[in-house]
Structure 1
């Protein structure tokens, strides 16, 4: 058990590294845009490189991890992700900028799937749900990365210095943590690399998609909604995402205990209802502080959806858990990447106010799909 405890701490550190690396990039996108001399349209093209790299890596992650295992996958993913930071910082034009973001996207997805696969190994060693707690550290790392990015911007630290130093430090931390991972091969490692995911993963993919659409909506549109719809100040508008992040961390810290005590199906149904309630509060009372509170409530609900869907996926396809996680993650990231874009297009037609109401109704499907997770977590469900 001592070995499992060390591995749990190590995997938690890697989750924090992943969140911090991605938030470091996101916090200074305007500085990277200015260095590369990109217009808004060209920036959008560059960001497509990030999406393309992320999706390509998710498609390949299952077969790759089946061959090399989750520990080596973490080493490779962390190396590529942290190398992508200085590449993005030094990119002088659109072509190199797109290439750098492809690298960043590939590293992020490979690290994401690999660390989740090893987290599930650790959870098996514990014999009880601990998976959602790992995802809390991703959010914690994200807050630290975005906070550090804000400081670097305030202190006018050059982007190249910031990203190079941060990438180096995060890589060293990740590589050091990986030395404390569980020894031996993953379940299914060494089997045939290519195999179709089972049909049982489809509803879990839908759950992950809905969770990521809700999360991506708050990430990309909460500040815009607060500014344009509720006429909030710029400072107050930033609190929408902050409140959302804080409540996500709070619930992910205790979600495993709640699942163990009450079962995964009641937890997921409650999560869906709370998420819908949060969006309802946002759109029903379009006042700044009510909207901030509403986004915080959304964080309470959506926090456990993705971690538990990924955990369930590994049990639905127990012979190759890494491949199962990659398949469900691909569905989730598809929602995270394209959802906010589609929301923007829909907002142009019916307005952002009603568009958020649409997002709230999408989460209804999670409520009805919750029973599909029961068999996968029979040991902790009732």
Structure 2
């Protein structure tokens, strides 16, 4: 199946991936501005970002029930909530209030994220073709576009709120494209299988490493370029933009490769490549070398998370798919809970270079997890 065909088949959830990517790309590029207006240190800012992670994880526990209640309008409701939520953080100067606002952002983002990934997994089962990488690639494209646009708006002196409001208005126009009928699958008669704990734990751990690494670069790459390497505002915004561009390339390539190579060998190769990129970014003598590192990291890490979510959908019974993806996402997206705090503490204690080297070590931990996942039977 070609990339265009895959996107055509999954165009409705792909639209939701674009929405999430645009918002988070803009936020990543505005991090130096938002951090500055809060007057927060690295450690404090990392702690404040726990607000979004708390909302994100909470939403993912609630998502399976919300998915059944909302049905075909699940993605529409999540996108509308996200558009409203992002109006708050950019205009807040009180740290505790900022954390609360980010919790609302995380709640909306988490709900939409679980529902759209579940819709893709359902389409994969229906068409018997991999679709996850192509959809996550659309997130990366939108993320890069959002970050690049903010490079221009920051140079023009625009604050975050009008930019987020403009994206929110665009999202509201896109809501009709995200309505998708859902067919809920009941357990097969006589089904006596156990709860799929190990597939969820192992795949969740793989996704956790991928999203911790991704969240680290999203939130701290602009600061690394501007503070450690002396870059300007536009150069700083190019850090997360480079990640988004290369992740899009990696995921589109991963869509084609996934047709020919099984999931586990692909994850192993990707973890090694992304670890090399993190090390290059950490040791970069100039912004240009940092972009190279972020690019290599993006190419590798791009496929790890989507493959982990797709893999758990294949390792569990169909009637447990949405719940399993939700639980896997809880583990995986808790990376957005740990990464900002750990990165802030490491940066305060040892500097951003050592913090990015820690990311390289973290990415190599995927190797034993992938070997264990390979031994689990497919459903």
TM-score (norm 2): 0.83
1:16 matched residue in structure 2: 18
Are 2:46 and 2:341, in contact at CA under 8 Å, matched by a contact in 1? Answer: no
CA distance in 1, matches of 2:45, 2:367: 37
Once structures 1 and 2 are overlaid, which stretch shifts more, 280-289 or 293-302?
Answer: 280-289
CA distance in 2, matches of 1:92, 1:226: 24
Shift of 1:54: 1.5
Confirm or deny that 1:145 pairs with 2:143. no
1:187 matched residue in structure 2: 185
The residue correspondences of 1:147-296 to structure 2 (distance < 5 A) are 147-155=148-156, 161-173=162-174, 175-179=175-179, 181=180, 183-188=181-186, 198-231=197-230, 235-283=234-282, 286-296=285-295
Confirm or deny that 1:51 pairs with 2:53. yes
Q: Secondary structure at the match of 2:86?
A: helix
1:120 matched residue in structure 2: 121
2:357 matched residue in structure 1: 357
> Residues 53 and 377 from structure 1, CA distance in 2 versus in 1: closer, same or farther, beyond 3 angstroms?
same
Q: 1:62 aligns with which of 42, 51, 64?
A: 64
Shift of 1:50: 2.4
Shift of 1:236: 4.2
In structure 2, the gaps of 5 or more residues are: 188-193
Shift of 1:16: 0.4
Shift of 1:25: 4.4
Q: What CA deviation, in whole Å up to 9, does each residue of 1:298-326 have, x standing for no partner?
A: 11110001111111122223322121112
CA distance in 2, matches of 1:243, 1:321: 33
> Residues 262 and 345 from structure 1, CA distance in 2 versus in 1: closer, same or farther, beyond 3 angstroms?
same
Shift of 1:164: 3.5
CA distance in 1, matches of 2:358, 2:336: 16
2:190 matched residue in structure 1: none
CA distance in 2, matches of 1:168, 1:235: 25
Q: Secondary structure at the match of 1:86?
A: coil
> Residues 129 and 375 from structure 1, CA distance in 2 versus in 1: closer, same or farther, beyond 3 angstroms?
farther
CA distance in 1, matches of 2:261, 2:62: 36
CA distance in 2, matches of 1:360, 1:32: 27
Are 2:53 and 2:336, in contact at CA under 8 Å, matched by a contact in 1? Answer: no
In structure 1, the gaps of 5 or more residues are: 190-194
CA distance in 2, matches of 1:367, 1:377: 19
Q: What CA deviation, in whole Å up to 9, does each residue of 1:120-163 have, x standing for no partner?
A: 11222321112111001111222233344444445556755543
Once structures 1 and 2 are overlaid, which stretch shifts more, 281-290 or 69-78?
Answer: 281-290
Once structures 1 and 2 are overlaid, which stretch shifts more, 262-271 or 4-13?
Answer: 4-13
Q: State the number of aligned residues.
A: 367
1:192 matched residue in structure 2: none
CA distance in 2, matches of 1:353, 1:360: 11
Are 2:283 and 2:353, in contact at CA under 8 Å, matched by a contact in 1? Answer: no
Shift of 1:228: 4.8
CA distance in 2, matches of 1:292, 1:13: 28
Q: Secondary structure at the match of 2:184?
A: coil
CA distance in 1, matches of 2:66, 2:294: 37
CA distance in 1, matches of 2:96, 2:229: 39
1:369 matched residue in structure 2: 369
> Residues 225 and 6 from structure 1, CA distance in 2 versus in 1: closer, same or farther, beyond 3 angstroms?
closer
Are 2:28 and 2:218, in contact at CA under 8 Å, matched by a contact in 1? Answer: no
CA distance in 2, matches of 1:162, 1:240: 19
CA distance in 1, matches of 2:232, 2:87: 33
> Residues 228 and 45 from structure 1, CA distance in 2 versus in 1: closer, same or farther, beyond 3 angstroms?
closer
Give the CA RMSD over aligned residues. 3.4
Shift of 1:258: 0.8
Q: What CA deviation, in whole Å up to 9, does each residue of 1:75-121 have, x standing for no partner?
A: 22112111213344676866765554332221111001111110111
Shift of 1:370: 1.7
- Ranked by relative contact order (alpha carbons within 8 Å, sequence separation 6 or more), the top structure is 2
Q: What CA deviation, in whole Å up to 9, does each residue of 1:63-86 have, x standing for no partner?
A: 332x33663321221121112133
Are 1:4 and 1:126, in contact at CA under 8 Å, matched by a contact in 2? Answer: no
> Residues 99 and 198 from structure 1, CA distance in 2 versus in 1: closer, same or farther, beyond 3 angstroms?
same
1:309 matched residue in structure 2: 308
